[in-house]
Structure 1
Amino acid sequence: MWKYWQRIMASLALFNALLLCLLLQNLLADAKVVVLLSAPHTADVRTYTNVARELSSYGHETYVCVPQFLLDSNLVNTDGVKVIPYGQYLNNFDSFFFQTVLDRFWRGENIWVRDYVSLIQSMQAIVRQILTDQNLITTLRTIKPDLFILTNGPFFRNIVTLPYMLNISFAYLGSFNDLPGQRVPFSPSSTACPGYPEFKEEGMGFYGRLATSLCNVVVTFLDHYFMDDKMVAELAPNSPKASVSEISRMAKVYIIESEPILDYAKPEMPYMKLIGSTALTKPADLMPPLKSFIDNSEKGVALVSSANIPAPIAKKMMLAFQQQNLSVIWRVHFSPANTSRLMTMPWVPQNDILANRKTRLFVSHCGTHSQYDALYHGVPILCLPLYGDQFYNAERAKSKGFGLSANLATISYKQLAKLMSKVADTDKYRNSIERASSLYKMFYKNPSETAAFWIDHVIENGGIYMRSTAQTLPLFKLLTLDIMAFVFLVIAAVILVIVCACVFCFKIARKCLTALVRPKLKKS
């Protein structure tokens, strides 16, 4: 009897083992290899590592391409993700890319078209280096990705050549909401344009709508200057001939780190998924000496985050801080003497400090991720933009009542001190951003998980059902320029026929009149 039960138990164990093997086999069969390649910028790479960790929980094998300079400087948390290092030739991309623009800003000079043309050319050269990096390409061919996740930023647009040359599907993930490139029908006069920060969501007069329209038209038609179609033909000679724009519109889904609470409301299509910010993480407990500094502050603290700033600007900011009732935590890359009400650090746990209830003001250059940190924790912002989309970000924060903005290069220390006090002490700014924070937390609970969900969704189901006919159209057809040209020709033809008919009738009438009048003249 005992032997009989032993045989039954052994059979059950064998059956369970076989069942487990079958389940594992099915899971492995469903698991896909996903490679995330962002622009070589610190904030973008952090976004991709956050999403990669969430995507791994779906059973997929995920890899994040991380530039070597970020690995060397330990600026990105790569725990729990597989890393593909690349780009020894990039050096410190963050410093290089915006240095020309920053130098001009501090000198009080305007940014000219040639500066942006130079940036475009430099970025195209960097993308070409990435696409011809044989170590990277060999690694990618070895792991055989099923899907690429790429950045859809204008300066990094040509990277879409990579999945095309390897014949692999791709999706987009990033903060850039490119309505014309995504083939989204929109009104140019009532849709915010990054090149025109003075857009007002509550409505504008004729000249404001005219400026917004012109900005959107210029951005739409200049977009092709960011694209290098020759690069596609050169690096993907065996693939069907296609432009960068055409390849970009093959994306399975556009996952966009935006929403209408911080940003302005814009038209959407089913293939666009607005998820909020993936950079937000759960705040950690503050450690000494930060904790004791904040706890000992009587009136609360202001967190000031600044880039590499010139000495005169730093001196001006120091004078402004001395006039504050608030204690100040200043992230800055040099170390003036700390006092009982000023603490300077080369790096600060920004998210953790903003989460503290005694933080009353955030002074920032207003990058997208920093704005989301302030929004999430309901801290009013004083924006001091320097370059790029920071001016647009600053104006939208001001427009929505989250704070104020100023030009750090030209403002005096007294004006800066006054603005800091105004934003920190005026209830309307805190009330506005706290109300927006509640809405954001209600609708965007875990953006990284949402991004992972949609990536997994298009892996399993594809994205054909979300696509629009507009995505197959060239720009002139999307804008119905051919229809308008036809209507114009028809109207012109009708007008021409009417004019010709009038001329013909006039001539006939003239002849008839002449025929009637001439005999009477002869008799007289």
Structure 2
Amino acid sequence: MVAITASMILKRLHILAQLLLYCTTSVVSYKILVAGDAGGGSHYYILERIAKALAQRDHDVTVYVSDMYTKHRQEPSLKFVTYESLVTMDEWEGLLSNITSSYLSGEDFLSQIQSQLKAIPFVFKLMRDQCHSALVDKQLLNQLREEHFDIIVGDFYFICTSLLGQALDKPYVLIDSPLPTARHYSVNNNPINPSYIPATQTGFDHQMKFVTRLMNSFQVCLEYLIGFKLFADYDHLKQIHNIKPEVSTFTTLGQAEIFFMNNDFTLDFPKPLMPNTIPVGGILTRPGKPLHPELEAFVQGSEDGTIIFSLGGYVSIVKQDMADMFAGAFARLKQRVIWKQRGKTPRVTPPNVKMMEMIPQNDLLGHPNTRLLVYHCGVNGAYEAIYHGIPVICLPVFYDQPDIAQRIASKGAGLRLDINTVTSEILVEAIQRVLDDDSFRSNMRTLSAIFKDKPNHPADEVALWTEYVVRHGGAGHLRSAAYDLNLLQYLLLDVILFLTICIITVIVIMATCCRCFVVIVKRKFCSKKVKAE
């Protein structure tokens, strides 16, 4: 028999205490409202995953969603309250399709910039109309008030969540973007220094030369200007619906108790964050599930492994030549390829390629025969690849995808290619390089080990902090005093002005004294010289 020592007893008691603590923290049930309608894709799935995590902890969770997303209302553990949307799915997807098409049409850089600038007013209009839809039904809002929710969990990108929090007079926490823009940083007072923090949509590395830092600074300023226009639109909505119109949208967003950022420093570059900003990247990560028998047979049937190719849920291949280029590249490979088809299809599909409209990407990444992910470099796919240790080849299209691609390339976990200039030869060469060079898979496995080395899953981390806010009636102790400063005070412009005046005054006094000294000396020596003569 093994003797039971005192240390073993203490260790078991410690484990028992932790289990009891976990159980006691989950006994209290809260009523939680989850809201956000920034899109039917990744934004919604992240909120749904958080809602499930909260429901698993015995909380009463209600999801406030528009009737545009009826296909999502199928989770039995959640309750749904829907409102009539003024925006149709065709309008939303049509706008995204137009934006992505401009990137894939082969336009030059200036033409793409012009196309995106033209699209901004339409994006703002759809978001504004969607917010108006969520607030216009007063009877539905009264129904939500009668539920007496303890807290609201919402999407920062769908700014209306904060307005809903004010309308219901409830505290709220926000899920921010994976790579927040400068306007997001300014809302929660996280410092942004363009010298080493790349702005969103630049695709820059964190080590920048002069020209890159100059362009990065320009992008930060542009993001601030766009933010002013965007917030002004919501200020108008606050007046229409009489939701504390005296409080600006900028201030309303800043009143969130916690900002959850959908990123993780396993992938992101280091940067300073305020105490109430919590990184929770990888919310959708999970172990792979068994594949459908037909798909399992296709994946297992390749002795050289399988490659996944996807451009996401919104990006469509708009040119036939591009579809044929990808097919030509995959035909030259020994591996089998699972292609998520959207848009144009190749004239000839190679025998080693399986075309599918929808793919279980996470489950495929978790399959032991998967070797590589070739995709558009969306943030959720990046963390799924990191979770399963699968190297990637990035073909970024728009928004933050070039930024994610650069971070993956900087970590040595994959390669970044230009989707508008890539050829079959370039793509095949890149695939062979990643497959043959063990450093890519080794680096990705290292990132995977780092990512998984944490006490809680990101979705559970959001749930724990949400409970924390409710238990303590907010998180004001994590709130920086910077929230109470105006721009003049925050940038120390008043201090700089005062010091400048002091320095100028000292210089003037010293100059005056020197001038008087010179005059006195001249008079003294000149008078002696005159007397001597």
Q: Same fold (TM over 0.5)?
A: yes
Q: CA deviation at 1:208?
A: 4.8
Amino acid at match of 2:317: I
TM-score (norm 1): 0.85
* Contact 2:235/2:249, CA 8 A, preserved across alignment: no
Say whether the 8 Å CA contact 1:332–1:346 is kept in structure 2.
Answer: yes
Measured in 1, the distance between the counterparts of 2:253 and 2:41 equals: 23
Tell me what 2:388 maps to: 377
Higher deviation after alignment, 116-125 or 345-354: 116-125
C-alpha displacement of 1:267? 0.9
Counterpart residue number, 1:62:
61
Aligned match of 1:404: 415
Question: Distance in 2 between the 1:389 and 1:167 partners?
Answer: 33
Of 402, 417, 422 in structure 2, the residue corresponding to residue 391 of structure 1 is 402
Find out whether 1:175 has 2:181 as its counterpart: no
Question: Which whole-Å deviations, capped at 9, do the CAs of 1:267-291 have from their partners, x for residues lacking one?
Answer: 1222111122212233210113211
Matches within 5 A, 1:435-474: 435-443=446-454, 445-461=456-472, 462-474=474-486
For residues 60-90 of structure 1, what are the alpha-carbon distances to aligned partners after superposition, in whole Å with 9 as ceiling and x for unaligned?
A: 332223343332xx36763422222335332
1:122 aligns with 122
User: Cα–Cα, structure 1 residues 370 and 495, in superposed 2: closer, same or farther, change >3 Å?
Assistant: same
**Cα distance change of structure 1 residues 87 and 240 upon mapping to structure 2, 3 Å threshold:** closer
The code of the aligned residue for 1:88 comes to S
Deviations 1:380-436 (A, max 9, x none): 110000100001011111001110011111122111111121122211110000110
* 1:493 matches 2:490: no
Which of 159, 162, 165 is the equivalent residue of 1:163?
Answer: 165
Equivalent residue for 1:327? 336
Q: CA deviation at 1:264?
A: 1.1
Deviations 1:308-360 (A, max 9, x none): 10222111111111111211110012655655411011110000101011111
- Residues 209-262 of structure 1 show CA distances to partners (whole Å, capped at 9, x for unaligned) of 555555445545653233116425513546261222211111111112211101
Which whole-Å CA distance do the structure 2 matches of 1:394 and 1:31 have between them? 39
- Report SS of the residue matched to 1:132: helix
Residue number in structure 1 paired with 2:22 = none
Aligned to 2:7: none
Task: Give me the whole-angstrom Cα distance separating, in 2, the residues matched to 1:77 and 1:400.
Answer: 38
Conserved? CA contact 1:199–1:212, under 8 Å:
no
- Cα 1:271–1:65, aligned 2, differ >3 Å: closer, same or farther? same
Q: 1:206 to 1:40 in 2, by over 3 A?
A: closer
Inter-CA distance 439–503: structure 2 relative to 1 (3 Å threshold): same
1:3 corresponds in structure 2 to: none
CA distance change for structure 1 residues 38 and 186 in 2, over 3 Å: closer, same or farther? same
Hey, what does 1:304 align to over in structure 2? 309
Question: Superposed, which structure 2 residues align to 1:251-290 within 5 Å?
Answer: 251-290=256-295
Residues 327, 350 of structure 2: 8 Å contact kept = no
Summarize the Cα distance change of 1:516–1:223 in structure 2 as closer, same or farther, 3 Å threshold: farther
Distance 1:218 1:129, change over 3 A: closer
The offset of 1:173, in angstroms, is: 1.2
- Kindly provide the amino acid, as one letter, of the partner of residue 140 in structure 2: T
**2 CA distance for matches of 1:252 and 1:215?**
28
Shift of 1:443: 1.6
Q: Are residues 1:416 and 2:427 paired?
A: yes
CA contact (8 A) 2:287 2:366 kept: no
- Do structure 1's residue 184 and structure 2's residue 190 form an aligned pair? yes
Structure 1 unaligned spans of 5+: 1-26
Structure 1 residues 132, 94: closer, same or farther in 2, change over 3 A? closer
| Distance (Å, rounded) in 2 between the aligned partners of 1:335 and 1:103 | 16
Q: Which AA in structure 1 matches 2:392?
A: I
Q: Are 1:58 and 1:456, in contact at CA under 8 Å, matched by a contact in 2?
A: no
Q: CA deviation at 1:504?
A: 3.9
Q: Structure 1 residues 79, 340: CA separation in 2 closer, same or farther (over 3 Å shift)?
A: farther
Q: 1:162 to 1:501 in 2, by over 3 A?
A: farther
Q: CA deviation at 1:266?
A: 1.6
Please state whether the residue corresponding to 2:142 is helix, strand or coil: helix
Task: State the distance in 2 between where 1:63 and 1:372 align.
Answer: 27
Normalised to the residue count of structure 2, the TM-score between the two structures is 0.83
How far, CA to CA, are the matches of 1:112 and 1:435 in structure 2? 37
Match of 2:495 in 1: 483
Instruction: Report the CA distance shift for 1:312/1:275 in structure 2 as closer, same or farther (over 3 A).
Output: same
Are 1:245 and 2:240 an aligned pair? Answer: no
CA positional deviation for 1:446: 1.7
Among candidates 194, 202, 205, match of residue 199 of structure 1 = 205
**1:14 match:** none
Please tell me the residue identity of whatever aligns with 1:104: S
- Say whether 1:86 aligns with 2:94: no
CA contact (8 A) 2:61 2:79 kept: yes
- Measured in 2, the distance between the counterparts of 1:247 and 1:115 equals 31
Q: Aligned to 1:379, what secondary structure does the other structure show? A: coil
- Quick one: structure 1 residues 109 and 187, their matched pair in 2 at CA, closer, same or farther if it must change by over 3 Å? closer
List runs of 5+ in structure 2 lacking aligned partners.
1-26
Which position in structure 1 is the counterpart of 2:151?
Answer: 147
Change (3 A) 1:518 1:478: same
1:440-494: CA deviation from partner (whole Å, max 9, x where unpaired): 1112642111111111211121211211112222344333233223222322332
Q: Is the 8 A contact 2:362 2:384 kept in 1?
A: yes
1:175/1:256 contact within 8 Å kept: yes
Question: Which among 377, 386, 404 is matched to residue 366 of structure 1?
Answer: 377
RMSD: 2.8
Instruction: Give 3-state SS (helix, strand or coil) of 2:65's partner.
Output: strand
C-alpha distance in 2 between matches for 1:174 and 1:87: 25
